[in-house]
Amino acid sequence: MAENSSPLQSQPDAKGEFFRLVAEQGHYGGRTFPTSTRQGLYVCTPGGTTLGALNTRDAGPLLEMLQTALERWDHLAVHATSKAPGEYDRFRPDRYPHGGLVLRAIARDLPRKMDTRIDDWRKIAWNLDYAWFTREEVASLVPDPALLGATAEASPELVRRLGRFHLRDFVRGEPAPWPADALHDAALSSVVTGVSGDTITVSLHGRIRLEAEFRWVRQGDGESHESPCSFDATLSGEAEWDRVTGRFVRFDLAASGPRAGTQQYNNRPDDLGPAPMAVVFELAGDTPRDRTPPHTVLHAQYFGEPA
């Protein structure tokens, strides 16, 4: 199983406590410098006994850890705790937008005329995220009445979240959300291009321009950094709305254009640009994997609440 350890490292509920029980027996147990991260790969019993742990990108050490952990499991006298874990008071509510729109977002650099990037993983990097919108927010994209040629404007909330939280340069890593004043020329509109029975086809068009200066202090040596960042995204796509269920059954949207700058955790210091990048969005499935929350969902303003 796979989960974001950032909230689990501190959240005051039963799941957080279980994670910390496992992690404190592992490779980073007790560590506070240079960070208090507990990220890594663990094998544990359902009762919380850690059988193996490490943090690596290499298959060899991971395989060795897994084999050792399974040997320890085989030698345990008791495998199970006395009772199955029941419901618990969640510190954070589940904000999965049932009945709304769940998109898979993929970011990658687009081809460039003059390419000076180093010929390694950075040249072929891509990354994955998810985007959540409520039923009310996405309904704003469907003209009413849905006659051929009718138009609609996406709600300000949908455009704000799309821009600030999803049009980030996450090709190589984890950038912060854009600040509120970074959003310029932000609009997304739809036009009905087809009506067939209960299915309405709309084309999507728009632009979102983002600009902000990011500043950070590097952990370890305390050195200050700053970088002007931007992404001038042209939006285009097509979607199909099912009138019966009130949901999009297809949603294809591309956001592409020049990006520039770097941030603390997005691995761009050697590629400040401007250079072309795209973030593309498609409907996600409903397996547990596709219910992975958006990377920035814990930000106080993701769903529009004040900071």
Partner 1 sequence: MAPSFRDIIAAVQPHPDELWQTDLWEARRLALEVGRPIFLWAMNGNPL
DSSP state letters, 233-286: EEEEEEEEEETTTTEEEEEEEEEEEEEE---TTS--TT--S-EEEEEEEEE---
Residues 248-267 that bind partner 1 (CB under 8 A): 252-254, 256
Kindly state the DSSP code that residue 165 receives in the 8-state scheme: I
Residues 92-131 that bind partner 1 (CB under 8 A): 106-108, 110-111, 126, 128-130
Cβ atoms 159, 186 nearer than 8 A: yes
Dihedral sign (CA 72, 74, 79, 85): positive
Q: What is the arrangement of strands in the sheet containing 126-133, beginning at the earlier edge strand?
A: 126-133, 101-109, 275-283, 247-260, 224-242, 199-217, 183-196, 151-153
For the chain, what is the radius of gyration of the CA atoms?
A: 22
Cβ atoms 54, 43 nearer than 8 A: no
At its nearest, how many Å lie between partner 1 and the CB of residue 80?
A: 6
Q: Which of 64, 157, 211, 238 binds partner 1 (CB under 8 A)?
A: 238
| Cβ distance to partner 1 smaller for residue 56 or 245 | 56
Q: Does 162 bind partner 1 (CB under 8 A)?
A: no
Q: Give the x/- contact pattern for partner 1 in 35-74, rule: CB under 8 A.
A: --xxxxxxxxxx----x--------------x--xx--x-
| Cβ distance to partner 1 smaller for residue 127 or 230 | 127
3-state secondary structure of 182: helix
Residue with the two structure tokens 């049009």:
167
| Cβ distance to partner 1 smaller for residue 3 or 198 | 3
Look at residues 208, 91, 189, 78 and name the one whose alpha carbon lies nearest to residue 143.
Answer: 189
Residues 139-158 that bind partner 1 (CB under 8 A): none
Q: CA-based diameter of the chain, in Å?
A: 70
| Cβ distance to partner 1 smaller for residue 234 or 301 | 234
At its nearest, how many Å lie between partner 1 and the CB of residue 223?
A: 21
Q: Which of 29, 71, 88, 304 binds partner 1 (CB under 8 A)?
A: 88
Residue count, binding to partner 1 (CB under 8 A):
63
Which residues of the shown chain bind partner 1 in the complex (CB under 8 A)?
A: 1-6, 8, 14-15, 18-19, 22-23, 37-46, 51, 66, 69-70, 73, 79-81, 84-85, 88, 106-108, 110-111, 126, 128-130, 174, 204, 236-238, 252-254, 256, 278-280, 282, 287-289, 291-293, 295
